[in-house]
Amino acid sequence: MVLTGVYEMDSQAETALIELNGKFERVMDNIEIVKDKQEEMASDIVKIKEAVYNPDEGIYARIRDLESFKRQVSKALWIIMTALIGLGMHQVLSSIG
């Protein structure tokens, strides 16, 4: 009777170890999946950083170019408006005098 109890305990322990081993393998598989996803995310982050910070073609370079263009257009518009106002005033003064 004692021996059957020992065999049952060994059998239960073996079953528990097999279950534990299966769960451990599932955890290891999930860790591998997380590792793969982390590597994929790291690659994506490198691409994003390159797109944003690239000094020649990145977003900051494009914004810098647009701001420069905006300043130049603003200067040109002020020059044109000043010239038109000057010509208009010249016409008004010429017609009066």
pLDDT in tens, 51-94: 888 878 888 888 999 999 999 999 999 999 999 999 999 999 99
Distances (CA, A) of 19 to 4, 26, 30: 22, 11, 17
Higher pLDDT, 3 or 53: 53
For residue 83, which amino acid is it? A
d(CA 5, CA 7): 5
Distances (CA, A) of 36 to 48, 62, 82: 19, 33, 63
Q: Quote the pLDDT of residue 4.
A: 56
pTM recorded for the entire structure: 0.50
**CB neighbours (10 Å) of residue 69?**
10
For the chain, the residue count is 97
